[in-house]
Chains A and B, each alone.
Chain A
Amino acid sequence: MKIIYALFAAAFAALAIVPFAAPWLQFVLTIAIAKGFAAVGVALLLRAGLISIGHAMFYAAGAYTAAFIVLWSGISDLFVLLIASTLVTAAIGALVGAYLVRYRAIFFAMLNLAVSMVFFALLSKLYGITGGTDGLRVPVPTVLGTTLTKAGFDIVLFYVALALMAIIAGLGVQFLKSPLGHAVGAIHTNEVRLEYLGVSAWSVLLIAYTISAALAGLGGAIAAVSIGHVLPEYAYWTESGHLVLTAVLGGIGGVAGPFIGSIFLEIVHTVAVGVAHNAWNLIMGATLLLVIFFLPQGLYGLVTKSADKTSSAKLGENKS
């Protein structure tokens, strides 16, 4: 166990010096962490045995909420934006989830896809409100009332994202240990037994769904202020697929997995884009298949293999 914490601390320290050691990586990592939040949300549902190929809509919802708040209300403080976007997305998630968590398996996947496609189509078609396929520009937010240059803001944002990642990871570990966290996993293992224990699967899943949406929304809001622009593509179904891919690649066993997956993918993408621009999806697809076939616990599984045998969860594992 201790080895893992040492590893995480080392990785965290390495990330923290990025703005000085490799400034070009700073933007890439901010985005990676942002997508990591969404991937953690997807992973939470995967633990319950539910696959959502529509979660990019919540990422987009967080991003557009941030943009709308700045454009409509003029409030542009980073922390207000992040908190408000997360809350709004959580509300949307609860609303959509209240209906969707009644379904399992293929129907859950399909309905998520259906809702996300409506969401995507509306974002790209309501030109007057959403800016259509051009999206909306997000001005540089202030930080606690202080106006910063874009460069200064980007550095602040990077450390905020890094800190949030640590906080979410900590909370996530506690959540998974809590009765509710166990109940989420139990839905996958044996939902009927869970109901016999007097736990409502519907409310457990609704809470999980809302949390997962809120995480995706937080990620979207970070991406929005980092990129400075929000686009409907954020909600496209292939993006949802990529989020699931990220979660599975990193491993859904622990909260760290999806972040590892996301950071790994973004860095490799940045390095490889010049060499393999037209083959990037091919590489991703092949990697995904290899991970599913040979590494069901994802990259995180590699880290924990020797150190910790308790927190391993495999994708689609039948524990019955």
Chain B
Amino acid sequence: MKHIVRTAGTLMASLVLATQAMAQDKPEQIDVGVFTFTSGAPAAYGQPGAQGAELMVDLINAAGGIDGVPLRATIVDEAQGAEGVIAEYRRLAGETSYQVMIAALSSSNCLALAPVAEQMQMPTIGWNCDTHQLFLDQQLDYTFRPNGNTIPEFVAYVAYLLQVNPDIERVAIINPDYAFGHDAAEIVKAAFRAFKPDVEIVAELFPSLGASSYQTEVSRLSAARPDAIFSNLWGADLENFVRQAQPRGLLTQSQTVLALGETILQRIDLPDGVIVGMLGDGYWLTPHAQANEDTVAFAEEYSNRFGEYPVFPTMKMANSFMVMKAAYEAAIEANDGEWPSRDEIAAALEGLETATFTGTARLREDNDGYVDQVIGVTGPSETYDFSVITNMVRYDGEALMAPLGEDPIAWIETLTPEFLETLPEPGSYN
């Protein structure tokens, strides 16, 4: 019986695969599926990513495409839920003109798509999702994440907070109620235990993703009288929270850390001194970015087209396109100029290292990326009429990443207060 089932399954699978045989000729056009949120509360974050993709496609095509082949992006809205996202992914992956997917924004969609990517043998570049669980207990051959993960991102914030304010004792956390928020809370608490064990967590709130009112949470946080408030709210949630918290004095009552704060600098007038960052190095105003004339040109073109400067989701998206382009080019070269298959592109992505608009993307053995972490505080700008990030630091991405194969949270617990002294000082990167 077992044998029959297996034979039948294999037979049918091969029949199906045979109907979608891969064309290896140089195509007329390269299609790429780009998964991001273009509706709902997360769209405030996802739309700048989609716009970044649109601009990157135009820029790459204006420069002759990839090996002379023009690029076309199909934007898929992640707001339709995992079921719809998977269906759409399968539909696109069923067409031979799609050889790479740039997916996804949300960690839960990355987790849901990873097995599909393996099944359909479709190289997939995680442009924004950053849950450390993605590569934790599974070997993925087709999912690559040059974007890096939550461990370095949130360890970096605790390090920065303690570097600028070593006397912190009472900390409150307000994060969105899903893996990203809960994981970040675990990482932040583990990092405090490692770096400053006497820190007390006085409130831990997880409002629902997409909640519109935060007034009660603001009261609760005020009442807890924390020295510092940590939050990784994002998208419209972050904007809502800040708009409701700021008039009630919360952001100045405590040292506030807004992990994804860079996205709202151009939209809301944040007070000076709020610790903000970009979960990586994707800020268009870092010394690295400003020293790269392509980045400056990209930011200017983006601002001309969309009426605001890029935010870090834009830069993450643009950097992912650069990784994809580098992979195509490496695969073509390895193939003696012949057009590569999906498998050959996946092979080229293995251990890829390439320059991006804001630094370097480097993939390690498990396909996760090393990305530097840039953090600073809000401050006035001489050039722009919105706040910029000042007193910046750039932590080496590899130093904050748990070694390959180690349980990341357990690794954080092994760190000591002395670890902080090995890190560069705030203000050392301006």
Contact = CB atoms under 8 A, between A and B. Distances in A.
Chains A and B form a bound pair: yes
Interface of A: 19-20, 23-24, 27-28, 31, 124-125, 127, 131-135, 137, 140, 143-146, 148-153, 155-156, 223, 227-229, 231, 233, 270, 273, 277-278
The secondary-structure label for the interface of chain B is helix
B9 to A, nearest CB: 3
Nearest to B180: A134
A133 B94 CA distance: 29
A231 B19 contact: no
B5 A137 contact: no
B209 interface: yes
B223 interface: no
Nearest to B93: A24
A133 B112 CA distance: 13
6 contacts: A134-B111, A146-B6, A149-B10, A229-B108, A229-B111, A231-B82
B346 to A, nearest CB: 17
B389 to A, nearest CB: 30
A163 to B, nearest CB: 14
Contact of B19 (A20, A151, A270): A20
Interface residues of B, number: 43
Interface string B293-329: 0000000000000000000000000000000000000
B119 A150 contact: yes
Contacts of A140: 115
Interface in B49-104: 77, 80-84, 86-88, 90-91, 94
Interface string B371-390: 00000000000000000000
Nearest to A28: B87
A132 B86 contact: no
B177 interface: yes
A118 to B, nearest CB: 15
Most interface-central of A145, A229, A233 (chain B CB within 10 A): A229
Contact of A150 (B8, B91, B118): B118
Interface string B164-195: 00000000000001110010000000000000
Interface of B: 1-2, 5-6, 8-10, 12-13, 15-17, 19-20, 39, 77, 80-84, 86-88, 90-91, 94, 107-108, 111-112, 115-116, 118-120, 177-179, 182, 206, 208-209
A273 B88 contact: yes
Nearest to A132: B178
Nearest to B120: A151
A180 to B, nearest CB: 34
Contact of A149 (B13, B88, B182, B206): B13
A151 B16 contact: yes
Given A124-B177, A132-B177, A146 B2 contact: yes
Contacts of B83: 31, 223, 227, 231
Nearest to B108: A134
Contacts of B13: 149, 151-152, 155
B178 A133 contact: yes
B12 A155 contact: yes
Given A143-B5, A144-B2, A233-B81, 14 more contacts: A20-B15, A27-B87, A133-B178, A133-B208, A134-B179, A137-B111, A144-B1, A144-B5, A146-B5, A156-B12, A227-B82, A229-B108, A231-B83, A277-B80
